[in-house]
Homo-oligomer: A and B are copies of this chain.
Amino acid sequence: MSSKVNKVSEAVIKRLPIYHRSLTDVIENGVERISSSELSELTGFTASQIRQDLNNFGGFGQQGYGYKAVDLRAQIDKILGMDHTYNTIIIGAGRLGSAIANYSEFRENGFNIQALFDVDPEKIGKEIDSFPVISGDRLEEYIETFNIDVAIVTVPREYATDVIDRLIKCNIKGIWNFAPIVISAPENVVIENIRLNDSLLSLSYHLKEKFFKEVE
Protein backbone atom coordinates (compact mmCIF):
# COMPACT_ATOMS: atom_id res chain seq x y z
CA MET A 1 0.00 0.00 0.00
CA SER A 2 1.34 3.44 -0.89
CA SER A 3 1.99 5.74 2.06
CA LYS A 4 2.13 8.75 -0.19
CA VAL A 5 0.12 11.66 1.14
CA ASN A 6 -1.22 14.36 -1.15
CA LYS A 7 -0.78 18.03 -0.29
CA VAL A 8 -3.49 18.68 2.26
CA SER A 9 -5.40 21.98 2.46
CA GLU A 10 -5.34 24.25 5.50
CA ALA A 11 -9.04 23.58 6.10
CA VAL A 12 -8.43 19.83 6.30
CA ILE A 13 -5.49 20.42 8.66
CA LYS A 14 -7.82 22.32 11.00
CA ARG A 15 -10.21 19.36 11.08
CA LEU A 16 -7.57 16.67 11.63
CA PRO A 17 -7.08 17.39 15.36
CA ILE A 18 -10.83 16.97 15.80
CA TYR A 19 -10.81 13.59 14.05
CA HIS A 20 -7.78 12.70 16.15
CA ARG A 21 -9.57 13.52 19.38
CA SER A 22 -12.70 11.56 18.44
CA LEU A 23 -10.62 8.56 17.38
CA THR A 24 -8.72 8.63 20.68
CA ASP A 25 -12.05 8.63 22.52
CA VAL A 26 -13.43 5.63 20.67
CA ILE A 27 -10.15 3.70 20.84
CA GLU A 28 -10.14 4.18 24.61
CA ASN A 29 -13.65 2.73 24.62
CA GLY A 30 -12.47 -0.37 22.77
CA VAL A 31 -13.90 0.47 19.36
CA GLU A 32 -11.98 -1.10 16.46
CA ARG A 33 -13.79 0.13 13.36
CA ILE A 34 -15.64 3.37 12.85
CA SER A 35 -17.79 4.52 9.94
CA SER A 36 -17.88 8.00 8.48
CA SER A 37 -21.41 8.44 9.80
CA GLU A 38 -20.31 7.52 13.32
CA LEU A 39 -17.43 10.02 12.99
CA SER A 40 -19.98 12.52 11.76
CA GLU A 41 -22.01 12.16 14.93
CA LEU A 42 -18.91 12.65 17.10
CA THR A 43 -17.43 15.60 15.23
CA GLY A 44 -20.40 17.45 13.78
CA PHE A 45 -18.96 17.34 10.23
CA THR A 46 -20.99 15.64 7.52
CA ALA A 47 -20.12 12.04 6.61
CA SER A 48 -19.36 13.11 3.07
CA GLN A 49 -16.99 15.84 4.28
CA ILE A 50 -15.23 13.25 6.43
CA ARG A 51 -14.86 10.75 3.59
CA GLN A 52 -13.51 13.49 1.36
CA ASP A 53 -11.00 14.64 4.01
CA LEU A 54 -9.78 11.14 4.78
CA ASN A 55 -9.45 10.30 1.09
CA ASN A 56 -6.49 12.69 1.08
CA PHE A 57 -4.47 10.09 2.94
CA GLY A 58 -4.81 7.24 0.52
CA GLY A 59 -7.06 4.20 0.50
CA PHE A 60 -8.12 3.91 4.09
CA GLY A 61 -11.79 3.31 4.49
CA GLN A 62 -13.31 0.20 2.99
CA GLN A 63 -16.80 0.60 1.59
CA GLY A 64 -19.23 -0.78 4.17
CA TYR A 65 -16.55 -1.65 6.71
CA GLY A 66 -15.58 1.79 7.98
CA TYR A 67 -12.11 2.86 9.08
CA LYS A 68 -9.79 0.91 11.36
CA ALA A 69 -9.59 3.40 14.22
CA VAL A 70 -6.00 2.68 15.31
CA ASP A 71 -4.59 2.78 11.78
CA LEU A 72 -6.44 5.93 10.88
CA ARG A 73 -5.24 7.67 14.02
CA ALA A 74 -1.65 6.58 13.37
CA GLN A 75 -1.88 8.06 9.88
CA ILE A 76 -3.23 11.34 11.27
CA ASP A 77 -0.43 11.35 13.87
CA LYS A 78 2.08 11.14 11.07
CA ILE A 79 0.46 13.87 9.00
CA LEU A 80 0.29 16.19 12.00
CA GLY A 81 3.94 15.61 12.84
CA MET A 82 3.11 13.93 16.14
CA ASP A 83 5.75 11.31 15.44
CA HIS A 84 8.37 14.06 15.90
CA THR A 85 9.61 15.56 19.16
CA TYR A 86 10.30 19.24 19.62
CA ASN A 87 12.60 20.72 22.28
CA THR A 88 10.43 23.38 23.82
CA ILE A 89 10.82 26.27 26.25
CA ILE A 90 8.24 28.53 27.88
CA ILE A 91 8.93 32.27 28.09
CA GLY A 92 7.20 33.73 31.12
CA ALA A 93 6.91 31.77 34.37
CA GLY A 94 3.71 33.45 35.51
CA ARG A 95 0.38 31.70 35.97
CA LEU A 96 -0.25 31.10 32.29
CA GLY A 97 3.30 29.79 31.73
CA SER A 98 2.91 27.52 34.75
CA ALA A 99 -0.48 26.30 33.59
CA ILE A 100 1.06 25.37 30.24
CA ALA A 101 4.07 23.65 31.85
CA ASN A 102 1.53 21.52 33.67
CA TYR A 103 -0.47 20.64 30.55
CA SER A 104 0.02 16.94 29.86
CA GLU A 105 -1.04 17.09 26.19
CA PHE A 106 2.33 18.66 25.37
CA ARG A 107 4.37 15.61 26.03
CA GLU A 108 1.79 13.42 24.29
CA ASN A 109 2.08 15.63 21.24
CA GLY A 110 5.89 15.58 21.24
CA PHE A 111 6.54 19.02 22.73
CA ASN A 112 9.17 18.29 25.36
CA ILE A 113 9.39 21.18 27.75
CA GLN A 114 12.93 21.84 28.95
CA ALA A 115 12.76 25.06 30.94
CA LEU A 116 10.86 28.28 31.68
CA PHE A 117 12.37 31.77 31.34
CA ASP A 118 11.51 34.83 33.40
CA VAL A 119 12.97 38.18 34.45
CA ASP A 120 11.70 38.03 38.05
CA PRO A 121 14.65 37.37 40.45
CA GLU A 122 12.16 35.74 42.85
CA LYS A 123 11.42 33.04 40.27
CA ILE A 124 14.85 32.54 38.65
CA GLY A 125 16.70 29.51 40.01
CA LYS A 126 13.50 27.88 41.32
CA GLU A 127 11.57 25.06 39.68
CA ILE A 128 8.05 24.78 38.30
CA ASP A 129 6.88 21.18 37.87
CA SER A 130 10.53 20.11 38.04
CA PHE A 131 11.41 22.42 35.11
CA PRO A 132 14.09 25.03 35.94
CA VAL A 133 13.22 28.73 35.76
CA ILE A 134 16.10 30.50 33.99
CA SER A 135 16.97 34.19 33.64
CA GLY A 136 15.72 35.81 30.44
CA ASP A 137 19.27 37.07 29.84
CA ARG A 138 20.34 33.55 29.02
CA LEU A 139 17.66 32.95 26.35
CA GLU A 140 19.88 33.09 23.25
CA GLU A 141 22.66 31.01 24.78
CA TYR A 142 20.21 28.36 25.98
CA ILE A 143 18.41 28.05 22.66
CA GLU A 144 21.70 27.48 20.87
CA THR A 145 23.22 25.12 23.42
CA PHE A 146 20.16 22.90 23.80
CA ASN A 147 18.88 22.99 20.21
CA ILE A 148 15.52 24.43 21.16
CA ASP A 149 12.93 24.09 18.37
CA VAL A 150 9.87 25.80 19.85
CA ALA A 151 9.19 28.67 22.26
CA ILE A 152 5.85 29.27 23.97
CA VAL A 153 5.41 32.99 24.64
CA THR A 154 3.29 33.83 27.69
CA VAL A 155 4.84 37.17 28.69
CA PRO A 156 2.69 40.30 29.09
CA ARG A 157 1.89 42.21 25.96
CA GLU A 158 4.44 45.00 26.56
CA TYR A 159 7.37 42.55 26.50
CA ALA A 160 6.10 40.27 23.76
CA THR A 161 7.40 42.11 20.68
CA ASP A 162 10.91 42.25 22.10
CA VAL A 163 10.88 38.59 23.15
CA ILE A 164 9.63 37.46 19.74
CA ASP A 165 12.25 39.55 17.93
CA ARG A 166 14.93 37.86 20.01
CA LEU A 167 13.52 34.40 19.31
CA ILE A 168 13.43 35.05 15.57
CA LYS A 169 17.06 36.26 15.63
CA CYS A 170 18.04 32.96 17.32
CA ASN A 171 16.48 31.05 14.42
CA ILE A 172 13.83 29.41 16.55
CA LYS A 173 11.69 27.13 14.36
CA GLY A 174 8.30 27.58 15.98
CA ILE A 175 6.53 30.04 18.28
CA TRP A 176 3.27 29.37 20.10
CA ASN A 177 2.23 32.90 20.97
CA PHE A 178 -0.31 33.87 23.64
CA ALA A 179 0.46 37.61 23.61
CA PRO A 180 -2.14 39.85 21.92
CA ILE A 181 0.20 41.36 19.36
CA VAL A 182 0.41 41.28 15.58
CA ILE A 183 3.61 39.57 14.45
CA SER A 184 5.16 39.96 11.04
CA ALA A 185 7.19 36.78 10.88
CA PRO A 186 9.87 35.84 8.41
CA GLU A 187 9.37 32.81 6.17
CA ASN A 188 11.55 30.51 8.24
CA VAL A 189 9.51 30.62 11.47
CA VAL A 190 6.18 28.91 12.10
CA ILE A 191 3.96 31.02 14.34
CA GLU A 192 0.70 29.85 15.84
CA ASN A 193 -1.29 32.37 17.85
CA ILE A 194 -3.81 31.85 20.62
CA ARG A 195 -5.91 34.98 20.66
CA LEU A 196 -7.64 34.90 24.06
CA ASN A 197 -8.79 38.47 23.86
CA ASP A 198 -10.21 38.17 20.34
CA SER A 199 -12.11 35.07 21.42
CA LEU A 200 -13.50 36.91 24.42
CA LEU A 201 -14.63 39.83 22.26
CA SER A 202 -16.31 37.41 19.89
CA LEU A 203 -18.17 35.93 22.88
CA SER A 204 -19.13 39.45 23.97
CA TYR A 205 -20.42 40.28 20.48
CA HIS A 206 -22.59 37.17 20.24
CA LEU A 207 -23.95 37.67 23.77
CA LYS A 208 -24.94 41.21 22.92
CA GLU A 209 -26.55 40.11 19.64
CA LYS A 210 -28.55 37.34 21.33
CA PHE A 211 -29.47 38.76 24.69
CA PHE A 212 -28.82 42.47 24.98
CA LYS A 213 -29.75 43.88 21.60
CA GLU A 214 -31.54 47.22 21.91
CA VAL A 215 -34.79 47.49 20.06
CA GLU A 216 -34.19 49.88 17.18
Contact = CB atoms under 8 A, between A and B. Distances in A.
A65 interface: no
Given A202-B13, A204-B81, A210 B21 contact: no
Interface string A160-202: 0000000000000110100010101000101011111111111
Interface in A136-151: 149-150
Nearest to A43: B182
Query: Is the interface on chain A under 10, 10 to 19, 20 to 34, or 35 or more residues?
Result: 35 or more
Interface in A34-92: 42-44, 79-82, 84, 86
Contact of A200 (B98, B105, B204): B105
A16 B195 CA distance: 13
Given A99-B95, A99-B96, A204-B84, A192 B199 contact: yes
Contact of A192 (B176, B206, B212): B206
A126 interface: no
Q: How many copies does the complex hold?
A: 2
Contact of A84 (B173, B196, B212): B212
A207 B86 contact: yes
A82 B79 CA distance: 40
A5 to B, nearest CB: 9
B44 A196 contact: no
Interface string A96-120: 1011001101100111000000000
A196 B196 contact: no
Nearest to A3: B216
Nearest to A111: B200
Contacts of A184: 44
